[in-house]
Amino acid sequence: MQTKRWYIDERQPEQQAIEEAADRLRNGRTVAFPTETVYGLGADATDEAAVSGIFEAKGRPEDNPLIAHVATKKQLSRLVTTLPSVAEKLIDTFTPGPITIVLPSNGTCASNVTAGLSTIGVRIPDHPVAQNLLKTCDIPVAAPSANISGKPSPTTADHVWADLQGKIAGLVDAGATGVGLESTVIDCTQEIPVILRPGGITKAQLEMAVGSVMVDPALANTADKPKAPGMKYKHYAPDVPMWLVAGSPENIQAVIDRERDDAKRIGVMASTQTANRLQADRIITLGSDLRDIAATLYDALRVFKNGDVDLIVCETFPRTDIGQAIMNRLEKAATAYVDS
Ligand code: TXA
Ligand code: MG
């Protein structure tokens, strides 16, 4: 399949690109587009065959439901049986923004969007291009992250191109995304909302808005079956093994030196402060605060290629603010956890 790539910049009027992309979506085809978190791979959420195209292109397991994206609260309310007051509060406070709300589905979306569940994840993204595309095509758009299943989510159009070129009908390229990690998924089908996936909106922010919020116990304890089906899969894997190493820069350096003695080439991912104090074969600096680290993490995970280095050593980060989401993704990407 030929993948059409539109550039949202001075090369072409934005509306022309968006109209073409929207046409493809309305015609049952797959189009990748930017959101404020990561690029998504979209298809008409009401069209089962179109949605199958997403699973096929990504190689995604069929039991993993997709998020339906819409431009407005009104469109969102058309996909669910009820809008409980806590969900309404979350929508009014955080959308458009990096949050996905799980509610009872009313069946408007195709059954493969929800992977047969009675609930549906709905999201109003906060990206001008995503908003424009969703308003222009005027259909709910099912969209998982636009990567091959198991790989890090794409934060640039080049990441999408590398994974899906030739497998999808289009790609709207508007440069790098902002947050860099996927939306917070929160289940609002019970009285107290439950965080199923940590993300751009933190637990503290959610509690400020709606009071008590629980966290899916499976996020802390790998023995429990996660409520977001996608959370059980190994994810975000770089090409080479990655160790998450806790401890001071000196302790991390000791682990690097020990492994180098084995003639291994070592790549490092660390904050600016830590990176300045380490020596290795290749060092990628993620940034100096947690928000910067979140924004660069997935790109860094794609940089190290087989043959470049034999092992990636990555620092651990405090689980405060977006650090919770960073550590959740790193734990899925890592092959081992070393407490140095
Ligand atoms: O930021 C994001 O959320 C990005 C952008 C493109 O919007 N999308 C994204 O989609 O990360 P995906 O498919 O890669 O991750 C969706 C997660 C999965 O873990 C899935 O299992 C969970 O949300 N999910 C979706 N619908 C659900 C439902 N009805 N109940 C529980 N979990 C659900
Ligand atoms: Mg994903």
Q: What sections of 59-168 are H helices per DSSP?
A: 73-77, 85-94, 128-137, 157-164
Amino acid at 121: G
d(CA 296, CA 177): 10
**To 10 degrees, the CA torsion angle through 323, 325, 326, 329?**
160
Ligand nearest to C-alpha 150 = 2
Question: Closest residue (by CA) to atom 13 of ligand 1?
Answer: 144
Using pLDDT thresholds of 50, 70 and 90, give the confidence band for residue 226: confident
Instruction: Please report the atom of ligand 1 found closest to the CA of residue 98.
Output: 1
Q: Which of 51, 67, 183, 190 to mutate to test ligand 1, by most ligand atoms within 8 A of the CB atom?
A: 67
Nearest to 338 by CA among 313, 319, 320, 301: 313
- Give distance in angstroms: CA of 256 to centre of ligand 2: 31
Could you say which of 3.40.50.11030, 3.30.230.70, 3.30.1180.20, 2.60.40.420 is the CATH number of the domain covering 242-339? 3.40.50.11030
pLDDT tens digit sequence for 17-30: 999 999 999 999 99
What average pLDDT does the segment 131-152 reach?
Answer: 97
The pTM assigned to this predicted structure is: 0.96
- Give distance in angstroms: CA of 100 to centre of ligand 1: 7
67-69 and 40-44 as β-strands: parallel, antiparallel, unpaired?
A: unpaired
User: How is domain 4-220 classified at the architecture level of CATH?
Assistant: Alpha-Beta Complex (3.90)
Local structure of 285: helix, strand or coil: strand
Instruction: Please report the atom of ligand 1 found closest to the CA of residue 121.
Output: 26
Q: Is the pLDDT of residue 234 over 90?
A: no
d(CA 20, CA 25): 9
Q: Where are the domains of the chain?
A: 4-220, 242-339
pLDDT tens digit sequence for 19-70: 999 999 999 999 999 999 999 999 999 999 999 999 999 999 999 999 999 9
What the block records as the tokens of 89 is 């509060």
Q: Which residues line ligand 1 (CB under 6 A)?
A: 35, 37-38, 40, 64-67, 100, 102, 114, 117, 119-121, 123, 125, 143-145, 182-183, 185, 196-197, 227-231
Instruction: Please report the atom of ligand 1 found closest to the CA of residue 39.
Output: 6
Instruction: Please report the atom of ligand 1 found closest to the CA of residue 185.
Output: 23
Q: What is the pLDDT of residue 223?
A: 62
pLDDT tens digit sequence for 180-198: 999 999 999 999 999 999 9
Q: What is the pLDDT of residue 233?
A: 65
- Give distance in angstroms: CA of 182 to centre of ligand 2: 8
Do 155 and 99 form a contact (C-beta atoms < 8 A)?
no
| Sign, Cα dihedral of 185, 189, 190, 192 | positive
d(CA 53, CA 167): 9
Ligand nearest to C-alpha 216 = 1
* Residues 37, 42, 43: CA angle, nearest 5 degrees: 160
- Give distance in angstroms: CA of 296 to centre of ligand 2: 16
Instruction: Please report the atom of ligand 1 found closest to the CA of residue 69.
Output: 7
- Give distance in angstroms: CA of 151 to centre of ligand 2: 8
Using pLDDT thresholds of 50, 70 and 90, give the confidence band for residue 222: low
For 138-163, b/e burial (b = at least 16 CB within 10 A) is ebbbbbbbbbebebbbbbbbbbbbeb
d(CA 60, CA 327): 23
| Sign, Cα dihedral of 114, 120, 121, 126 | positive
- Give distance in angstroms: CA of 153 to centre of ligand 2: 6
What the block records as the tokens of 238 is 């770089």
Instruction: Please report the atom of ligand 1 found closest to the CA of residue 60.
Output: 13
Ligand nearest to C-alpha 39 = 1
Using pLDDT thresholds of 50, 70 and 90, give the confidence band for residue 232: low
d(CA 225, CA 189): 18
